[in-house]
Structure 1
Amino acid sequence: MPSSTPRRSYDSERRQQAAERNRAAVLTACRELLFRDGYQATTVRAVAERAGVSPETVYKAFGGKPGLVKALWDVTLAGDDDPVPMGERPQLRAVWETRDAHAKLGLYAAFVRGVHERLAALFTLLTQAGPDVGRVLALSEEERMTGVTAFVGHLADTGALPADTDTARLADSYWALTGPHLFIQLTTGRGWHAGAYEDWLTGMLASARSSAGGSAEGTGVPGT
């Protein structure tokens, strides 16, 4: 009797592809409606109708409007919907693999710039949406703090910090310097182009690193 496994595998692949198409359509519809109508007027039903799916499909995939907005935030931050952790993406892998301490800071500043260029418009919209999205923004800041702390830990592990560095305080400094508010204030508010922001941020990260403890001389890391 012929095995039915290939058929089941084929059907499973088709369902997976359909789910991915639906997810992409829903996220696109959510973005379009948010920027056209605003957060309050964007409903799950409206998103579902625009995406050509049922509201139940949206609820099943995202758990409601806050989950949908958080998913849109994550996709915008990463630049795609691939299931790859941020720390394993090419830009950050280049940071981890670079030995020169100052070059690490420059690459990290470039990464931060790219994130904010993608997120700035959505961040501004959500900050004006009221308390309904407060948890989404708070969670994004918690996740950003986790990422910044990992970066500071990497600098410490590779000998790129003074021996007596208060890493918790340095992480707080880096978190403040790399925040979306500051990017928007300097680019939108003060008219800086993104390249100027990136250069400034590199210098500020270097300054904070140098003043985080004792002298950085003698760490053995190129560029210190």
Structure 2
Amino acid sequence: MAVRRYDNRLRDETARTTRRRVVAAARELFLADGYAGTTVRKIAASAGVSEQTVYARVGNKAAILKAVYDVMLAGDDEPVPMAERPEFLRMRDAPDARALLSAYAENATRMGSRMRPVLELVFGARAVEPDLDLLATTAAAERRIGTTMFARHFVGRGFARPGLDVDDVVDIVWVLNSPQVYLLQVSDNQLADDDFQRWLTITLESCLLPA
């Protein structure tokens, strides 16, 4: 029985290692050649595996891009929920509203900076690539779920300005922390990340906190 458990762990670790190689290879190709210029065959060759292995471990090209997106969002591929990661625990345990919004803006900026290359890829071509449009739509829905969790925590602690309920806070934060706003400020307006973080903090405070 112990040997069987060891064999299963070894297979699982081998599968995870292979998946990491595929996702890492795909990331480099997507960013270098674009979505249209990247094929599963190229990804397989770059990762040193067969196309069949790519499909088995990750999926088709759209699924591979989603995997790349998710890893860049989290910063790694460890099976740890976002809500249980240290940066989110700091927000949960923030002593007051301003500390919470400051931690939120810091984390949002860090994620935006980390994801900027893939955000530019997705939002730069979503109008002509159905797979990219689907990814953007899926990511927006996932982000709204996370924003709702934040809003419930924020309102539940009594931090919101009078008159704002959870839905109001969701709408405000979901827009201000959108990839489109980050790219507009950093890519188009050429704000440095520190300046974006400061802008986001101030804007969140002005929109959400009592006067």
Corresponding position of 1:43: 39
Deviation readout 1:109-155 (Å, 9 max, x if unpaired): 00100110011111111223322221111100111111111111101
How big is the shift at 1:13? Answer: 1.8
Q: Give 1:52-201 correspondences, 5 Å limit.
A: 52-129=48-125, 130-201=129-200
How big is the shift at 1:83? Answer: 0.8
Higher relative contact order at CA 8 Å, sep ≥6: structure 1 or structure 2?
1
How big is the shift at 1:163? Answer: 4.7
* Structure 1 unaligned spans of 5+: 211-215, 218-224
Q: Distance in 2 between matches of 1:137 and 1:167?
A: 24
The residue type equivalent to 1:96 in the other structure is R
3-state SS, counterpart of residue 45 of structure 1:
helix
Q: Distance in 1 between matches of 2:67 and 2:40?
A: 14
Identical aligned residues as a percent: 35
Q: Distance in 2 between matches of 1:34 and 1:183?
A: 21
| Backbone CA RMSD of aligned residues | 1.4
* Structure 2 unaligned spans of 5+: none
The residue type equivalent to 1:176 in the other structure is V
How many equivalent residue pairs?
Answer: 208
The residue type equivalent to 1:183 in the other structure is Y
3-state SS, counterpart of residue 204 of structure 1:
helix
Q: Distance in 1 between matches of 2:59 and 2:47?
A: 16
8 A Cα contact 2:19 2:58, kept in partner = no
The residue type equivalent to 1:159 in the other structure is G
How big is the shift at 1:185? Answer: 1.7
Instruction: Compute the TM-score of the two structures, normalised by the length of structure 2.
Output: 0.93
Q: Distance in 2 between matches of 1:31 and 1:63?
A: 14
Q: Distance in 2 between matches of 1:126 and 1:186?
A: 17
Of 10, 14, 18, 2:6 maps to 10
Corresponding position of 1:206: 205
How big is the shift at 1:170? Answer: 2.2
3-state SS, counterpart of residue 110 of structure 1:
helix
Corresponding position of 1:220: none
How big is the shift at 1:64? Answer: 0.9
8 A Cα contact 2:30 2:38, kept in partner = yes
Instruction: Compute the TM-score of the two structures, normalised by the length of structure 1.
Output: 0.88
How big is the shift at 1:193? Answer: 1.1
